[in-house]
Structure 1
Amino acid sequence: MSESANPLGAFLRARRELVTPEQAGIPAAGVRRTPGLRREEVAMLAGISADYYLRLERGRDRHPSLQVLESIARVLQLDDD
């Protein structure tokens, strides 16, 4: 699925890359292959399954609840501004 067909997934990936593990309260554990948080880390911190988060990023679930969106927004350090 292209990024234009899945804007939520593209946004989540871009934001996930901007938040360091240290900013999210996760101790640094050596060299990381990807910048920012791993999908599994976002899911754990948001209180959702890694599989569900992956479905959101890949556009297979397009109707997350407000509670899930708020939890992910908190982890990705988004605010109302």
Structure 2
Amino acid sequence: MDTHGDISEFLTTRRAKLTPAEVGLPDFGGRRRVPGLRREEVALVAGMSAEYYKRLERGNAKGVSDVVIDGISRALHLDDAEHAHLYDLVRAATPAPTRSNARGQLASLS
């Protein structure tokens, strides 16, 4: 399973379905190079930097919090099933700490 590619495809297809007007942004007309929202517009509505969103859309989900997932879900108007799917994709792309690594972290806190 290519989780990085899956995250990218999922987010790209969801933002292609929305227009700026649907998310409360002005539409200045003119030709758009991409269908739907631009990455920067999603980031603006989700309340994060455009660079952070771009990194996530490229599949780099390391350290992404639930708050960020919630913001993206709201910005892209995801339903409950889509939100859960995005959450699962992000968690699958985030490496879980190994047992020895977790034990080492606990020892360093003592």
TM-score category (smaller protein): 0.7 to 0.9
TM-score, normalised with respect to structure 2: 0.65
Written as runs of structure 1 = structure 2, the 5 A alignment for 1:17-36 is: 17-31=16-30, 32-36=32-36
AA at the equivalent of 1:48: M
AA at the equivalent of 1:15: R
SS in structure 1 opposite 2:22?
coil
Q: Which has the larger radius of gyration?
A: 2
TM-score, normalised with respect to structure 1: 0.86
1:10 correspondence with 2:13: no
Deviations 1:39-62 (A, max 9, x none): 001001111110000100111234
Q: CA RMSD in A?
A: 1.6
Unmatched tracts of structure 2, length 5 or more = 82-110
Match of 1:46 in 2: 46
The offset of 1:8, in angstroms, is: 1.1
Moved over 4 A (4+): none
Deviations 1:10-46 (A, max 9, x none): 1001101001111011111112221111100100111
Match of 2:80 in 1: 80
